C-alpha cells in the first residue's frame, strides 16, 4: 500500500468497518428494546408481510371470540332463567294437586289459588329479566340470536324458546274447583316436559357456542405463536452479540485512531 498524507486508505477502511459495527449495534439495541427481530419492512420485506397478514387474522379471531363470549353469556342467562321457570312449574304442579282434592273449603282453595297465581306471575318476572345485551331468548316473540362463528363469516342461529306462561300453555289455568285443579295439574305435566325440551335445545346451542369459542381461542393462540416465530428475537443470542459488537466497536475506534495518526508519523520523517 502506498503511504500518502493526502489519502489515508487505512482510515477509510477503519471508518467503514466502524460504521458497519455501529449499524449492527443499533440494530441489536432495537431488537433487544422491542423484543422483535423484525420491526418494519426494510430488514425482511417478505417475512414482515406474512407477519402483518397473520396479525390481521389475529384481530379477526379476537373479534369473533368476543362475539362468542357475548353469545355464551346470552344463552347462559336464558338457561339459568329457564331452569328457574322449570322449578316454578314443578311448584305449581304441587299446588294444583293439592287443590284437586275434594272437600277443600273455600278459604283453603282461595289461598291455594292465590299462591298459584303468584308463582305463575313470578314466571313472567323471571322470563322478562332473562335478557342480556338486548337479547332475551326465552320471552314471548323472541327473535333468536345470530352468532358469528368465524372470521370467514360463518354463522349459526340460536333459536328463541318461549318459556313464558303463555308459551307453556299455563296462562289460563285456574284452581276454582277440584276438576279445574286436576286439569291444571295435567297441563303442568305437559308444561314441564315442554320446558325441559326447550331447555335442552338451548343447552345444545350453548354447548356449540362453547366449543366454537374454545376452537377460536386455540386458533388465536396458534396464530400468535406463528407471528412470534417469525418476528420475535432470540434475546439470549442478541445479548451475546451485543456484548461482542461493543468489543468490536471499541477495537474499531482504537484502529481508526491509529490509522488517523499515520499521516502525522509520515510528516515526522521529514
Tens of pLDDT, residues 151-179:
888 999 999 999 999 999 999 999 999 99
75-79, 124-128, 224-228, 266-270: which range is least confident on average? 266-270
Angle CA 52–54–58, to nearest 5: 115
| Mean pLDDT of the 101-122 span | 94
Q: What is the CATH number of the domain that holds 171?
A: 1.20.1330.10
Based on the fold, state whether residues 20 and 132 are members of the same structural domain: no
How many domains, the chain?
2
Q: Considering the domain boundaries, does residue 201 fall inside one?
A: yes
Question: Residue 159's domain spans which residues?
Answer: 67-230
In this prediction, residue 42 carries a pLDDT of 72
On whether both 255 and 125 belong to a single domain, the answer is: no
Same domain, 189 and 91: yes
Is 25 contained in some domain? yes
Q: Are residues 149 and 257 in the same domain?
A: no
Global pTM value: 0.72
- Cell (9 digits) for 13: 477502511
Residues 149 and 204 in one domain: yes
**What's the CA gap between 32 and 236, in Å, rounded?**
9
Of residues 28, 1, 4, 5, the one with CA closest to residue 248? 28
Per the CB < 8 A criterion, the answer to whether 126 and 85 are in contact is: yes
Cα distances (Å, whole numbers) of residue 37 to 55, 177, 206: 16, 83, 42
Looking at per-residue pLDDT, the higher value among 235 and 164 belongs to: 164
Please answer whether residues 220 and 61 qualify as being in contact, where contact means their C-beta atoms are separated by less than 8 angstroms.
yes
Same domain, 259 and 144: no
Give yes or no: residues 237 and 193 share one domain. no
121/226 same-domain check: yes
Element housing 94 (H / E): helix 45-99
Residue 105 sits at the vertex; the CA angle it makes with 101 and 109, to the nearest 5 degrees, is 65
Residues 187 and 250 in one domain: no
Verify that 98 and 163 share a domain, yes or no. yes
* 15 falls within a domain: yes
Residue 149, pLDDT above cutoff 80: yes
User: Residue 184 pLDDT more than 60?
Assistant: yes
Q: Is residue 56 part of a domain?
A: no
Residue 250: the pLDDT is 73
Mean pLDDT of 11-39: 67
The pLDDT of residue 9 is 57
pLDDT tens track for 237-250: 767 766 676 766 67
| Secondary structure (DSSP) of 97-137 | HHHTSTT--HHHHHHHHHHHHHHHHHHHHHHHT--BTTB-S
Whether residues 31 and 130 fall in one domain? no
Q: Are residues 29 and 75 in the same domain?
A: no
Amino acid at each position: 500500500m502506498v503511504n500518502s498524507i493526502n489519502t489515508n486508505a487505512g482510515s477509510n477502511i477503519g471508518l467503514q468497518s466502524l460504521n458497519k459495527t455501529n449499524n449492527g449495534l443499533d440494530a441489536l439495541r432495537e431488537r433487544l428494546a422491542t423484543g422483535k427481530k423484525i420491526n418494519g419492512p426494510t430488514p425482511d420485506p417478505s417475512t414482515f408481510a406474512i407477519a402483518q397478514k397473520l396479525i390481521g387474522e389475529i384481530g379477526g379471531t379476537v373479534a369473533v371470540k368476543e362475539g362468542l363470549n357475548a353469545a355464551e353469556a346470552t344463552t347462559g342467562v336464558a338457561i339459568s332463567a329457564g331452569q328457574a321457570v322449570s322449578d316454578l312449574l314443578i311448584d305449581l304442579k304441587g299446588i294444583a294437586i293439592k287443590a284437586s282434592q275434594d272437600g277443600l273449603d273455600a278459604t283453603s282453595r282461595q289461598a291455594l289459588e292465590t299462591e298459584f297465581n303468584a308463582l305463575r306471575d313470578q314466571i313472567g318476572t323471571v322470563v322478562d329479566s332473562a335478557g342480556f345485551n338486548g337479547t332475551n331468548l326465552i320471552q314471548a316473540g323472541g327473535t333468536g340470536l345470530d352468532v358469528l362463528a368465524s372470521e370467514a363469516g360463518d354463522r349459526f342461529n340460536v333459536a328463541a324458546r318461549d318459556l313464558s306462561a303463555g308459551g307453556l300453555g299455563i296462562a289460563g289455568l285456574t284452581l276454582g274447583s277440584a276438576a279445574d285443579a286436576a286439569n291444571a295439574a295435567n297441563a303442568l305435566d305437559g308444561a314441564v316436559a315442554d320446558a325441559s325440551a326447550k331447555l335442552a335445545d338451548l343447552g345444545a346451542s350453548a354447548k356449540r357456542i362453547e366449543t366454537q369459542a374454545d376452537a377460536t381461542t386455540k386458533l388465536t393462540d396458534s396464530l400468535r405463536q406463528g407471528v412470534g416465530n417469525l418476528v420475535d428475537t432470540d434475546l439470549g443470542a442478541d445479548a451475546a452479540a451485543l456484548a461482542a459488537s461493543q468489543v468490536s466497536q471499541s477495537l474499531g475506534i482504537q484502529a481508526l485512531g491509529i490509522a488517523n495518526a499515520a499521516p502525522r508519523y509520515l510528516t515526522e520523517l521529514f
